[in-house]
Chain A
Amino acid sequence: MTAAAGPGPTDLLGKLAASIAGGGVKLVDLTHTLSPDFPTIVMPPEFGQSAPFRMERISRYDGDGPAWYWNNISFGEHTGTHFDAPVHWFTGKDLPLNTVDTLPTADMLAPACIIDCARQAAEDADFLLTRQDVLDWEARHGRVPSRSWVLMRTDWSKKTGRDYANLTDDGAHTPGPDAEAIRWLVEERGIIGFGTETIGTDAGQAGHFDPPYPAHHFLHGAGRYGLQCLTNLDLLPPVGALVFAAPLKILHGSGSPLRVVALVGG
C-alpha cells in the first residue's frame, strides 16, 4: 500500500475498521505474558545463555519517584512469545534485510494457515509434522498460499512450568516439524514463516535431526521467519486469519519478544 492509495483501499480499511468495531472481525492475542518464570530455551550450561525476563522497579509513587511507577526490564532477544529473524541462524547470516530492524514492513502482516496437531501432540510429545500431514491439510483447506505463515497448533500453550518445558535427561520433548516438511514448506510453498506454541520453531529433539534444527536451518536460510511460544491458536480458523507480527526495532537484533495479534473474520 502506498500513500497514493485511491478510494478502493481506503474503503477497504474503512470497512475493516467498521468490522472490528462491530465485532465482525475479531482480534485474537497470540501472546503469552512476559513474566520472569516463563521457561526459556536451555543450552548446555557451558554455552552462553539467554537471559530470562527480569523486572526491577525504579519507583512506585515513592521516594524514588513520587508520582510515577516504572521499571527497568531486561531479557534475551528470544524470550517469551518471540520472533526469530533470519540472522538468528548461521544459514541466514549473509542475507540482506536479515535483522529485526531491517525487517520489511510489508512482512509484518500476513495470512496464516493453522494446522491442528493437538491430538497427535497430546499422544506423543515428540510428534513431528510431516509433508504428508500438510498435504492432507491442503486436501481439506486448499493449498498453503505463498507468503503466508504456517502455525502449528499443538495446544502446548495450555501447559505450564515443567510440563511446558518437558525436559528429561535426554533433552526437551516437544513437537515440531520434521526436516522434510519444513524444507518443502519453504521451498515448494514459499511460506513467510513458521510458528509454534513451544519454546522453539523446532521440535525438542531437533538437535538430532538432519540437518540439526531444520526449521531454523531452512526458514532462516531462505530469509523466512519464526514465531514461537504462541498461544490461542485454537481460536483461529484453519485459513483466513491475518497475523500481525512486528518485532522490536533493535539494531542488528536477531529476534525479539513481541505482541502477536491475529485478525479473524466472522
Chain B
Amino acid sequence: MSKPIAKPKRKNPLERTREPLLPPAPRSRTAHGLTRAAAEGRFAIQRCAECHAFTYPPRDACPRCLSDRLPFVDAPTGGVLAALTTVHVTADSYFRERLPWRTGIVTLDCGPQAIAHVHGDCAEGERVNMSLQLDRGGQAALFANPISRTPDMQDDLQWREMTADPNQRRVLITDGRNPVGQALAKTLAEAGAREIFVGVGEQWKPFPNEEALRQIGGVKIVPLDLTDERSVADLATDIGAKVDILINTTDHIRPGHLFDAGATLRIGETMEQTLFGAMRLARAFAPVMIARGADGRHGAAAWVNLLSVHALANLPALGSLSVSHAACLSLSHWLRAELARGGVKLMNAFSGPLDTEWFQTLPPPKVAPAALATAVVDGLRRGLEEVYVGDVANDIKTRLTANPKALEREIGQ
C-alpha cells in the first residue's frame, strides 16, 4: 500500500542541500525510440517488420529473423511480474540515496521479458500494467504499475521519482491575467499543490476574474513581468528556492499580416514577452531549480512551457505567434539540456487555438483553458515531456510526421 505523501517538514537550515545525482544515462541511438515514446506517454517497443515479433531491449537486428527493419510501435501494456527484487545495496550513487529500490523481471504480453522498475503495490506473480517513463536522467525506463488503481498509488516514491506530480509541490504560474493561468491555478489546487504563486505584471491594470483567482486555496499573487529583467530577478530572489514546478503561461497573441506597418514592432513585443521573457525567466529561476533537483522528496521537478502547435508549422493568420513559439521551442530544447543536470524535467504542452479572446476569429475546434490545464497536470503526473492537447494539435503532429511539405502548403492556404 502506498503511503500518502505528507506535507513536507520545513527544511533544517543546518543541513546541506544535496546536489542532484542522476541515474546512469548513456543509451544507443536506437534506444531513443523508447525515449520518444516515453516523452509522449506511449508504450512502444520494437517489432520486426518481417517476422512481426516484438523485441526488447532495443537492438539493430531482429533476434529471431535477423531483419534490420525494427520500428518502434505501440505495444500492449499488459504483463506478469515474473520476479521481484528489492535492492538494498548498490554501488550506483543515484540509487544509493534512494534505497531500497524495487526492480523486477516482467514477462510482457507481447512476448519479451524485460527488467523494469516496480511500483510498491505490485506483487510477484501478479499482472502488471507497463509504461515507459523518463527517469531523472531523462532516459526511458520500463515501469511496472498495478493493473488497477490502488489508494495513493501516485505517491509511490519510485513512481514520484519518474514524475513531477504537483501534489505537495509549490508551483509558479508566470501569468495569472490570462484564462489559462487562472484555470491552471484552479486545477493545481485540486491536484494538491501546496503553494501556487501566480505572477501578475502591471498590477495597476485590473483584469477579469481577479477576485476568483485570489480565492483559490494556496494562491498567492506575486509581481512578475517577463519583459522586465528586474521584476523577474527580484521575484527569483524572493521565492526562487520555493519553486518546484514552473509553468510559463505568459503569452502575447496579436494577429496581423507580415506587411502591416506595425508588424515588426508587434513581433518585437511578442518576442519580448515570449522568447526573451522565457530567457529572463530561465536565467533567474533555472539555476536554483537545477540546484534543488534533489532537495528532499519535494525538490524542483519540472518546467512547463505552453506552446502553440503552430511553433511546428507557421499559421499565417497567427504568424508572429508561430514565429515566437518556434523560437521558444528551440529555446526549450536548450533549457531542457541545462535542466537535465539537476534532473529537472521540461515539458512542452502544444495546443491549437484556445477558446480565449485572441483566437476569437478562428474556427473550432478550440481548446478550453480548463482542458489545457487538465492536460498539463496529467502530463506532470505522468512525467511527460511532450503533450499534444486537442484535435488541432494532434492533427498537426500527425501531418508533420507524414509529410511536412504538404502541411506547410495546406496550412498556408
Contact = CB atoms under 8 A, between A and B. Distances in A.
B265 interface: yes
Interface string B75-101: 000000000000000000000000000
Nearest to A163: B204
B228 interface: yes
Interface in B193-209: 202-206
B230 A162 contact: no
Interface string B186-221: 000000000000000011111000000000000000
B329 to A, nearest CB: 24
Interface in B264-286: 265-266, 269
A52 B202 CA distance: 10
A46 B269 CA distance: 13
B229 A55 contact: yes
B205 A54 contact: no
A48 B231 CA distance: 23
B4 interface: no
Nearest to A40: B202
Contact of B204 (A45, A49, A54, A162): A162
A56 interface: yes
Contacts of A253: none
Interface string B236-256: 000000000000000000100
B206 A54 contact: no
A156 to B, nearest CB: 13
Binding site of B, secondary structure by majority: helix, strand, loop or mixed? loop
Interface stretch (A1-9, A111-119, A164-172): A164-172
A76 to B, nearest CB: 11
A242 B358 CA distance: 49
Contacts of B161: none
A36 B205 contact: no
Given A54-B228, A54-B229, A167 B262 contact: no
Given A48-B265, A48-B266, A167 B229 contact: no
A42 B231 CA distance: 20
Contacts of A54: 227-229
B204 A36 contact: no
Contact of A36 (B206, B225, B265, B266): B225
B203 A161 contact: yes
A51 B269 CA distance: 9
A184 B160 CA distance: 73
B177 to A, nearest CB: 12
A145 interface: no
Given A36-B225, A162-B204, A167-B206, A48 B230 contact: no
B230 A36 contact: yes
Contacts of A56: 229
A46 B254 CA distance: 7
Contacts of B227: 52, 54
Contacts of B230: 36, 55
Interface of B: 202-206, 223, 225, 227-231, 254, 262, 265-266, 269
Given A39-B204, A162-B204, A164-B204, 13 more contacts: A36-B225, A36-B230, A36-B231, A37-B203, A37-B223, A39-B205, A45-B254, A48-B265, A49-B269, A51-B269, A56-B229, A162-B205, A162-B206
CB-based closest 3 A-B pairs: A161-B204, A165-B204, A36-B228
